[in-house]
Amino acid sequence: NVPVGGFRVKAVDTVGAGDCFCGYLAAGLAAGDALEDAARLACAAAAVSVTRRGAQPSMPTREEALRLLRNG
């Protein structure tokens, strides 16, 4: 197992971040991604989500999560 680090972002609202992480992790695993890859994208998605207010409105698109993953 390889540890997966988080991303430094300015958090505005953490409501829904755990749900976002779990949803992205589950979707990645269901799509056949390796655990490390799915977890890394899930971390990126959750990081994007905390930069916005609200639970559902803060959920990022896959492209937004991938952008953070690529750009750090």
pLDDT digits (tens, 9 = 90+) for 39-65: 999 999 999 999 999 999 999 999 999
pLDDT surpasses 90 at 2: no
Distance CA 20, CA 45 (A): 7
CA distance 40 to 10: 19
Mean pLDDT computed over 3-29: 95
Q: Which pLDDT score, from 0 to 100, does residue 61 have?
A: 97
The Cα 31–Cα 14 span in angstroms is: 26
pLDDT at 39: 96
pLDDT greater than 80 at residue 1:
no
Contacts of 53 (CB under 8 A, 6+ apart): 12, 13
Question: Which residue of the set 13, 19, 33, 37 is catalytic?
Answer: 19
Question: What is the pTM (predicted TM-score) of this model?
Answer: 0.93
Q: According to the model, what pLDDT value does residue 5 have?
A: 86
Instruction: Based on the residue annotation, tell me whether 13 is a catalytic residue of this protein.
Output: no
Please report, as a single letter, which amino acid is at residue 24: Y
